[in-house]
Structure 1
Amino acid sequence: MPVAIVLGGQWGDEGKGKITDALAASADVVIRPNGSTNAGHTVVTDDGVFKLHVIPSGVLYPHCTCVIGAGVAVSPPDLLREIATLRERHSRLGQLYLSDRAHVIMPYHPLLDAYEEQRRGAAGIGTTLRGNGPAFTDKVARRGIRVADLLPGAEAFLRQKLEILLPEKNTLFVHLYGREPIDLEELLREARYWGEQLAPYVIAAEVFVQDAIAAGKRVIVEAAQGTMLDLDYGTYPYVTSSPPTAAGACQGAGIAPTQVDRVVGVFKAYTTRVGAGPFPTELHDDIGQLLRERGREYGTTTGRPRRVGWFDAVAARYTARLNGMTEAALTKLDMLDPLPEIRICTGYRLGNQLLSAPPARIDLYETIEPVYETLPGWRSDTSHAASFSELPLEARRYVERIEELIGVPITMIGIGPARRQIVWRHAEALA
């Protein structure tokens, strides 16, 4: 059963778009299973740089069918803009489908997101303010609006739902946040337009995906964000609102775990994080700033500068085991080229204890001391290497040490943004 999951092994922004794009060259179907417009993947081709938000990275291949799965929260105006932008820039796109069961980010969700972050003040979570959290809150509370509710013929049903929902939202806007209420009729007009525009893309995605698997098609599930942002296993409450794990990817894509034969974890050669929350290996010095600028570490969706730190092998091994990773991709190795020495966090010291996995209690991170191992740098250009043996010896040893620490073979190494700048290893694992 040729199904592969590509997911983030850190706090997101690991370069999953590049890895998915590379694998999609030989795939038939690419599915986005989770997240919303709060996430973004960047793909560099001969036609330029493409910043994708909800649409799977495989869309840049005309032979690929791309599916936005039921586990995604979709902002209709953002999705329609993304489709239009892609069509303007790229004439040969793959087929795109949208699950009728995907939840909708309604106009009140980004407002609730922004107003609540403002109300929290210094205790804010650092969300992207795109309405992701409030949309998934409504989904779990069984009061969400789904894509099927927007389609022509569902107008009366949608009105009925919004007549119940909107008074609650407007009560919060007026009495808690001191803002203007949302008009029901205007909202219905917007929703009707979205439904008409999206209707050609909408299908029963889980049925399509299962039919593709049954037909022996090669399927990639491109998860958004990273495992350390998972609601259950991440640095709660500084996490996202949908599951970015392999289990969550199966759920959002409509695929059973027994149908998956590859789980590819993507790690950056160092670590980054956007927004608030614990970050044991964070760098606040010139090295951190150097990596931020060399790596252009600014959010694809928000443009916010990312926090930067050394590779955290404690978190990486934890996520590798949690997701049952069969292999890993290590991106942006070339960003480390100028450094005379490089550090890897191999443990967390908490008082007299040495922790081998992240703690559940968020307050314990305040007293954690990372335990580092220092390796020599290579101080030479790796961006033109055509094989693993062409990398400097110190770079190879760095990759091999990370491989040992996380317990997963590293099969792909990113050494630049272009499609060709991937060093492939362990070819037998890629068959």
Structure 2
Amino acid sequence: MDIVLGLQWGDEGKGKFIDLISENYNITARFNGGSNAGHSIERNGRRITLKMIPSGIFMKGVQNVIGTGTVLDPVSFKKEITNLQTFDNTVQPENNVIISLKAHFVLPTHKLLDVFMEESSDYITIGTTKNGIAQAYSNKILRQNVRVGDMYAPDFRSRVQHIVERDYKMLTAGGMELPSLEEISNEFFEAVEFLKRFRCTETEIYLNNALAEGKTILAEGSQAAMLDIDHGTYPYVTSSSTTASGASSGLGVSPKNIGEVFGIAKAYCTRVGNGVFPTELFDELGEEIRTKGNEFGSNTGRPRRTGWLDLPALKYAVMINGVTQLVLTKADVLSGLKSVAVCTHYELENGEIVSVSGLLPENGKPILKWMNGWNADFSTMKSPSELPKEVIEFLSFLEAELRIPVAYLSTGPGRNEMLKLTGK
């Protein structure tokens, strides 16, 4: 099983890369997150954002698994399936999407609870997508939630109603204006009936049997390493494990079966929502990169914060994930700049130097290494030999610092705008 995951704060271009290489695999499998993900894929000059559905959905003969470590919002899933079939009516998701019986549901009141906590002064505001993901995961940990397999139980409706009514009562007491309880409940149960059209099974057994038969699996992570619930920049993180170890637990596949770990990173950094961001740019250059790179959330549309590449954080992400190959995106966005910068380390107030860190210092001074910029039309490049020497120097610097190869370089947003530099 190979793994693709983001190494920064998300939006690195995972969907595009997975769509590109998924034809080499029999199965693509989502191992974490929910409809808070947003993997953008371009096909035939049009773009679609996938939330729950794995990015291998467009490949004929590829099965797409929504694993146990995910949380599934049936209402959002139904809308996504409808949107997918409108986008490409040749796709048959009912035949090639498999859902874990053990994945947890996002219930109707979970989104409302997200909104309530984000708007209440009693809670830390972290900039959540308000998709109810944290609420579903927290109720999972509290053992107060329902799973996909429960939808076949005769008392499923009453169990869900009990939870929803309890939440609704609490939100009402908190003074929140709410939609009709009957309305959101009916929408949920209608979507659950739609969900029953799909194959729901013990995906752990399905995946391990596939491996035993010699089939290949590509595990797909949502969000990114620096948003991991344990290893990210807490509390401004997501609610699940986004790392390579999360792929093993989220899919029920032994770590000994992990092969290549593809880590995706931009040539600069972006972040959506609150949280520490040592290399953030607040000037016109930051705005230029945001505009040129179309740095707006694929799921929410929110403008992304932009900054220089953060090498201490990237080294940390490579280390904890065991990354074997780096995929670098958005170098084309920096084209035209006379010089580009990389943060090589932080200098703390006490003079301490930090060169690898997941606990990014809020008051640390980023020490920047400036390198010659490049000016080239990446969209016309068909071979690595066409890359400007400044880009090659930039890539060589990253390889030396990270001690892994830059195996792929994105040259634009299109599906095929990717150069293979090395790797298997």
Which range, TM-score by smaller chain?
A: over 0.9
Supply the distance in 2 between the matched residues of 1:136 and 1:53 (Cα, whole angstroms). 17
Contact kept in structure 2, 1:173 and 1:181, CA below 8 Å? no
- Offset of residue 196 of structure 1: 1.8
In structure 2, the partner of 1:409 is: 405
Q: CA RMSD in A?
A: 1.8
- Offset of residue 189 of structure 1: 4.0
Range with bigger deviation, 95-104 or 367-376: 95-104
Letter in 1 for 2:354: L
- Offset of residue 300 of structure 1: 0.7
For residue 375 of structure 1, the aligned residue among 349, 371, 378 is: 371
Report the 3-state secondary structure (helix = DSSP H, G, I; strand = E; otherwise coil) of the residue aligned with 2:263. strand
Supply the distance in 2 between the matched residues of 1:120 and 1:399 (Cα, whole angstroms). 45
Letter in 1 for 2:99: L
Letter in 2 for 1:377: G
For residue 422 of structure 1, the aligned residue among 409, 418, 424 is: 418
Contact kept in structure 2, 1:105 and 1:131, CA below 8 Å? yes
- Residue by residue over 1:222-265, the C-alpha shift from the partner in whole angstroms, topping out at 9 and shown as x without a partner, is 10011000111111000000110001112112211111111111
Contact kept in structure 2, 1:150 and 1:192, CA below 8 Å? no
For residue 386 of structure 1, the aligned residue among 375, 382, 385 is: 382
Letter in 2 for 1:335: V
- Offset of residue 289 of structure 1: 0.9
- Residue by residue over 1:157-188, the C-alpha shift from the partner in whole angstroms, topping out at 9 and shown as x without a partner, is 4414542x3454134212234445974x6665
Q: Percent identity between the aligned chains?
A: 36
In structure 2, the partner of 1:91 is: 89
In structure 1, the partner of 2:196 is: 199
In structure 1, the partner of 2:238 is: 240
Letter in 2 for 1:192: F
In structure 2, the partner of 1:267 is: 265
Q: Could you say if the C-alpha distance between residues 205 and 137 of structure 1 is closer, same or farther in structure 2, counting changes exceeding 3 Å?
A: same
Contact kept in structure 2, 1:149 and 1:158, CA below 8 Å? no
Gaps of 5+ in 2: none
Letter in 2 for 1:133: A
**TM-score after normalising by structure 1:** 0.93
Supply the distance in 1 between the matched residues of 2:234 and 2:112 (Cα, whole angstroms). 23
Q: Could you say if the C-alpha distance between residues 192 and 128 of structure 1 is closer, same or farther in structure 2, counting changes exceeding 3 Å?
A: closer
In structure 2, the partner of 1:400 is: 396
- Offset of residue 190 of structure 1: 3.9
Letter in 1 for 2:382: A
Range with bigger deviation, 195-204 or 212-221: 195-204
For residue 28 of structure 2, the aligned residue among 10, 30, 36 is: 30
Moved over 6 A (4+): none
- Offset of residue 359 of structure 1: 5.5
Supply the distance in 2 between the matched residues of 1:370 and 1:293 (Cα, whole angstroms). 24
In structure 2, the partner of 1:224 is: 222
Report the 3-state secondary structure (helix = DSSP H, G, I; strand = E; otherwise coil) of the residue aligned with 1:224. coil
Supply the distance in 2 between the matched residues of 1:386 and 1:292 (Cα, whole angstroms). 26
- Residue by residue over 1:111-132, the C-alpha shift from the partner in whole angstroms, topping out at 9 and shown as x without a partner, is 0000110003894111011111
Supply the distance in 2 between the matched residues of 1:199 and 1:150 (Cα, whole angstroms). 8
Kindly tell me the number of residue pairs found equivalent between the two proteins. 419
Report the 3-state secondary structure (helix = DSSP H, G, I; strand = E; otherwise coil) of the residue aligned with 1:30. strand
1:72-111 equivalent positions in 2, closer than 5 A: 72-93=70-91, 95-111=96-112
Contact kept in structure 2, 1:250 and 1:256, CA below 8 Å? yes
- Offset of residue 273 of structure 1: 0.4
- Offset of residue 211 of structure 1: 1.6
Q: Could you say if the C-alpha distance between residues 157 and 359 of structure 1 is closer, same or farther in structure 2, counting changes exceeding 3 Å?
A: closer
In structure 2, the partner of 1:331 is: 329
Letter in 2 for 1:385: M
Report the 3-state secondary structure (helix = DSSP H, G, I; strand = E; otherwise coil) of the residue aligned with 1:42. strand
- Offset of residue 382 of structure 1: 2.1
Report the 3-state secondary structure (helix = DSSP H, G, I; strand = E; otherwise coil) of the residue aligned with 1:329. strand
Report the 3-state secondary structure (helix = DSSP H, G, I; strand = E; otherwise coil) of the residue aligned with 2:300. coil
Report the 3-state secondary structure (helix = DSSP H, G, I; strand = E; otherwise coil) of the residue aligned with 1:325. coil
Q: Could you say if the C-alpha distance between residues 198 and 157 of structure 1 is closer, same or farther in structure 2, counting changes exceeding 3 Å?
A: closer
- Residue by residue over 1:187-217, the C-alpha shift from the partner in whole angstroms, topping out at 9 and shown as x without a partner, is 6544432232111212222221112111111
In structure 1, the partner of 2:253 is: 255
Report the 3-state secondary structure (helix = DSSP H, G, I; strand = E; otherwise coil) of the residue aligned with 1:61. coil
Contact kept in structure 2, 1:376 and 1:394, CA below 8 Å? yes
For residue 13 of structure 2, the aligned residue among 9, 12, 15 is: 15
Contact kept in structure 1, 2:150 and 2:156, CA below 8 Å? yes
Q: Could you say if the C-alpha distance between residues 121 and 169 of structure 1 is closer, same or farther in structure 2, counting changes exceeding 3 Å?
A: closer
Q: Could you say if the C-alpha distance between residues 211 and 177 of structure 1 is closer, same or farther in structure 2, counting changes exceeding 3 Å?
A: farther
Gaps of 5+ in 1: none
